[in-house]
Amino acid sequence: MAAPGVQRGLEDVVALESRICFIDGHRGRLIYQGYDIRDLAAQSTFEEVAYLLWYGRLPTASQSNDLRARFGALRSLPPALVERMDTMPVESNPMDVLRTSVSALALFEPDEARPGASSIGGAQRLTAALPTIIGTFHRRRSGLPTIRPRPELSQAAYLVYALLDREPTELETRAVDVALILHADHELNASTFAARVTASTLSDLYSAVTSAVGTLKGPLHGGANERVMELLDEIGTPELAEEVVKSKLSKHERIMGFGHRVYKVEDPRATILREWSKKVGEAKGNLRYYELLRKVEEVVHREKGLYPNVDLYSGSIYSLLGIPHDLFTPIFASSRVAGWTAHVLEEYQDLRLIRPTAKYVGATDLAYVPISERTG
């Protein structure tokens, strides 16, 4: 229970004004720069959405193609970074690799990483580089061939190529593209807030994204998508869903992929991803994950009244493509980086050091005891 005047977790605190993203938690709506997420997921591409987040307007066809070409041109990593990545333990958590590599990238791109130099160009560089970082690490630990920048591929197709070393089908590319669109921004979620706090000290874009990657890693945030698949593995078959979920709830365990700080109804991203999980499952002739998740949803809603969030269905789609579980949160990061950087650039436009206060509940006026006289 919070003390009077304390907003634990900054719940319901309005910390700043933003034009980038709006969530209507009671109506289940998500808007990027004025556009409903359902329209964007149905009709646009990740390239269009990244452009929208950075420039505040939808691109023309030629602007969208230019951005796609730019991503292609910016995908390669400095050889000195790849050398350092080669020394990272292959059993490392990919989010640790991503965080450390984004931070290290700044060492080799000092101009772009200079405080005050942050620009849409830096945002594009980071967005282009993240899938390559993840792919470089995953290919090394899996013995796959060295990654190539493949400038002809969209971000979605490149991500699948980077991780699996194969050409995605049209349906797979579209499924990943939709997932990237849906994850690209979400107002002041914890990782975006971390990025804005970092930027508000006038630190640089690379530092802000490093803070954000570390924050996204946690299981209450981006890490939830990996835990959902662990739960499905534990449940095994739909008939056991009721028993396993109820047993967890009776022990006050959280069921990952459910609940949200802002949405009081179903997260619209979950609605769209549920359809895609079914669509990809049907195409692969494997509806096991979809059926398990539907059953888990039914039990969690009945027992706790909770709705699914974006993390419930995303992992089932990636798993059907053959992507390992520990890459789900890095995939989330390679989309959310567009939102993080848009927020950082917005922060610089109207900068105010983010520095809340704490209600002090410790002692005051203790008598100082010299170290030689202290006991126990």
Q: Which residues are tagged catalytic?
A: 221, 260, 311
Considering only residues 97 to 126 of the shown chain, the ones binding ligand CMC according to CB under 6 A are none
Judged by CB under 6 A, the residue of 254, 284, 294, 325 near ligand CMC is 254
Q: Is 82 in the site for ligand CMC (CB under 6 A)?
A: no
Give the residue among 175, 176, 200, 222 at the shortest CA–CA distance from 337.
222
Judged by CB under 6 A, the residue of 20, 85, 104, 310 near ligand CMC is 310
Please identify, among the stretches 53-61, 100-108, 112-120, 259-267, the one whose residues bind ligand CMC according to the rule CB under 6 A: 259-267
Number of residues that bind ligand CMC (CB under 6 A): 19
β 29-32/35-36 pair status: antiparallel
| Interface pattern 264-303 for ligand CMC (x via CB under 6 A) | ----------------------------------------
Give the residue among 178, 215, 169 at the shortest CA–CA distance from 314.
178
Which amino acid belongs to residue 239?
A: E
| DSSP H or E run through 35 | strand 35-36
Q: Is 325 in the site for ligand CMC (CB under 6 A)?
A: no
> Sheet holding 35-36: strands in order across?
21-24, 29-32, 35-36
Nearer Cβ to ligand CMC (18/76) = 18
| 327 HSE (CA, 13 A, CB side) | 25
Q: Is 255 in the site for ligand CMC (CB under 6 A)?
A: yes
Q: Is 306 in the site for ligand CMC (CB under 6 A)?
A: yes
Q: Is the separation of the CB atoms in 347 and 196 below 8 Å?
A: yes
Considering only residues 173 to 232 of the shown chain, the ones binding ligand CMC according to CB under 6 A are 189, 220-222, 224
Q: Is 37 in the site for ligand CMC (CB under 6 A)?
A: no
DSSP conformation class of 22? E
Angle made by CA atoms 106, 195, 189, in degrees to the nearest 5? 145
Which amino acid belongs to residue 265?
A: V
Residues making contact with ligand CMC (CB under 6 A): 9, 189, 220-222, 224, 254-261, 304, 306, 309-311
